[in-house]
Structure 1
Amino acid sequence: MGLFKKNPFGHYLFLKKWLIRIMGGLTHRRYRGFNDLHIEGSQILRDLPDENVLFISNHQTYFADVVAMYHVFNASLSGRDDSIKNVGYLWNPKLNLHYVAARETMKGGLLPKILAYAGSVSIDRTWRAAGKDVNRQVKMSDISNIGKALNDGWVVTFPQGTTKPWKPIRKGTAHIIKRYKPIVVPIVIDGFRRSFDKKGIRIKKRNILQSMVIKAPLEIDYDNESINQIVEKIEYAIEQHPSLLKVIPQKELEAIEALNEKRRYSAKN
């Protein structure tokens, strides 16, 4: 790799590689040490093409979710099954891995700017800005940049656009899928909200069982399925469809939370 080679967004790949190595080394114990990340389905990643793959996931923190995905993706591509043991997998990280994030979030300090250089496709949210509800047009340049990232490699997006659970899927994700026809891989995460603060920077609790389940690619009829049909398919795939709330009793939700607390204290002892 040439020292001055750039990706489509003008980022030097040599610098990006070192940022991923350093940040990955600093964050590794957040998922294997302070907490325990349980992974399922990572072998699916090795069967995917090198480009035009869109990962869709529920969202729990600003940064910790996607950092965990960098670990899991690179570990799997280096031959590990459902494990991020031995951080050596970061020595040759996947450099064409991108993630969609709000532009204002990625400008909020030095750390977000570093994380942005490591792979952010920054966009302007159409429904929220500066902590207030807004209603504005989608920027075509944002759509084009996501397409550029898909053409370059893999893209992670959080189609709810918020860390709050059970919020509606933004239709923009479905439009992206119909327009660029990527392979769509669902990911379901849990435990990050209990482990970290909202930004995913400060460790809130230790010894939390985190989970990341990578599912098989969705079957999508890009030409004939409607936007609403794709939205509903996304909702079920990342386990955020409103109907799921009706089939999970409140007592069961409380029992799951109590079990996580029990695991936390058991791990301490």
Structure 2
Amino acid sequence: MGLFKRNPFGHILFLKKWLIRLFGALTHRRYRGFNEMQIEGSEIIKNLPDTNVLFISNHQTYFADVVAMFHVFNASLKGREDNIKNVGYLWNPKMNIYYVAAKETMEAGLLPKILAYAGAITVERTWRAEGKDVKREVNPNDTENIKIALEDGWVITFPQGTTRSFKPVRKGTAHIILQHKPIVVPVVIDGFRRSFDRKGLRIKKKGILQSMVIKEPLKIDYENDTVEEVVEKIEYAIEQHPSFLKVIPAEVLEEEAKLNKERLWRY
């Protein structure tokens, strides 16, 4: 790798590699130490092509979710089976992993800006800005950047656009899938909002069992499926369809309500 070689977004790969190594080393114990992460489906990662893969996931914190995926994906590519033992897998990380994030989130402070350099595709949310509901058109530059990222590698997105559970999946993700025809890999996570604060930067509680389940790619008819059908497939795949509420035990819902009440005071 040339010292000043850049990716399609102008980021110097040598610098990006060292950022991933550094933050990987600093965050490893968050998922294997202070807490423990249970992983399923790592063999799926090893069999994916190098480009045009879209990971879709539910969302629980701003940063801890995607950092965990960087760990798991790189560990899987280095032969780890459902574990992230020995952080050496990040010495030569996969450099073309990107993640979609709200522009205002990634510009809110120095640390988010540094994390953005590691692979963020920043987008302007069309429905919310600065804590208020808005309604604006999709920025064509945002969708173009996602296209560029898919052509260059893998993209992680959180199609609900929020860390709140069971919120609607945004149709924009379905449009991207039907337009660019990526392999779509669902990921379901849990335990992160109990482990970390809302931003995913501060450890809130230790000894939490986190989980990440990587599922088989979605079966999508790119020519005939409608946007609504793709949205529904996404909701079921990331276990955020309203029907899942009917099978969640009452005690789990009560615990979630309690945590949400605590967050109102804490944040």
TM-score, normalisation: structure 1: 0.94
- Give the corresponding residue for 2:209: 209
Say whether 1:135 aligns with 2:143. Answer: no
Aligned partner of 2:264 in structure 1 is none
What is the aligned partner in structure 1 of residue 53 from structure 2? 53
Structure 2: where are the runs of 5+ without partners?
258-267
Please provide the CA RMSD for this pair: 1.4
Question: How far, CA to CA, are the matches of 1:133 and 1:256 in structure 2?
Answer: 24
Q: Structure 1 residues 174, 91: CA separation in 2 closer, same or farther (over 3 Å shift)?
A: same
Deviations 1:34-80 (A, max 9, x none): 00010000110000000000000000000000000000000000010
- CA shift, 1:252, in A, is 5.4
Report the Cα distance in structure 1 between the residues aligned to 2:175 and 2:113, rounded to whole angstroms.
28
2:40 corresponds in structure 1 to 40
- Same amino acid, percent of matched pairs: 74
Q: Are residues 210 and 250 of structure 1, via their aligned partners in 2, closer, same or farther at CA, if it must alter by over 3 Å? A: same
Deviation of 1:234 after TM superposition, in Å, equals: 0.1
Write the deviation string for residues 114-146 of structure 1: whole angstroms up to 9, x where unpaired: 110000000000001011000000011100000
Equivalenced residue count is 258
Instruction: Give me the whole-angstrom Cα distance separating, in 2, the residues matched to 1:127 and 1:254.
Output: 29
Partner of 1:4: 4
CA 85–256 in structure 1, closer or farther in 2 if over 3 Å, else same: farther
Q: Secondary structure at the match of 1:34?
A: coil
Query: Counterpart in 2 of 1:25?
Result: 25
Structure 1 position 246, deviation (Å) = 1.6
* Alignment match, 1:67: 67
Q: Which runs of 4+ in 1 moved over 3 A?
A: 251-257
**2:193, 2:90 → 1: CA distance?**
25
In structure 2, relative to structure 1, the CA distance for the partners of 1:13 and 1:196 (3 Å cut) is same
User: C-alpha displacement at 1:256, in angstroms?
Assistant: 10
Look up the SS of the partner of 2:39 in the other structure: strand
Matched residue of 1:248: which SS?
coil
Match of 1:242 in 2: 242
Deviation at 1:249, TM superposition (A): 3.5
Distance in 1 (alpha carbons) for counterparts of 2:249 and 2:198: 26
Aligned to 1:263: none
**Structure 1 spans left out of the alignment, 5+ residues:** 258-269
Partner of 1:200: 200
Q: Which residue of 2 aligns with 1:98?
A: 98
Question: Residue 123 of structure 1 corresponds to which residue in structure 2?
Answer: 123
Question: Which whole-Å CA distance do the structure 2 matches of 1:246 and 1:68 have between them?
Answer: 29
Separation in 2, partners of 1:202, 1:83: 23
Return the TM-score normalized by structure 2. Answer: 0.94
Aligned mates of 1:8, 1:125 — CA distance in 2: 23
Please name the residue that 1:220 is paired with. 220
1:138–1:30: structure 2 CA closer, same or farther, 3 Å change rule? same
For 1:251 and 1:115, the matched residues in 2 are separated by 36
SS at match of 1:121: strand
Aligned to 1:157: 157
**SS of alignment partner, residue 220 of structure 2:** coil
Counterparts of 1:190 and 1:81 in 2: how far apart (Å)?
Answer: 19
3-state SS, counterpart of residue 189 of structure 1: strand
* 2:261 alignment partner in structure 1: none
SS at match of 1:201: coil
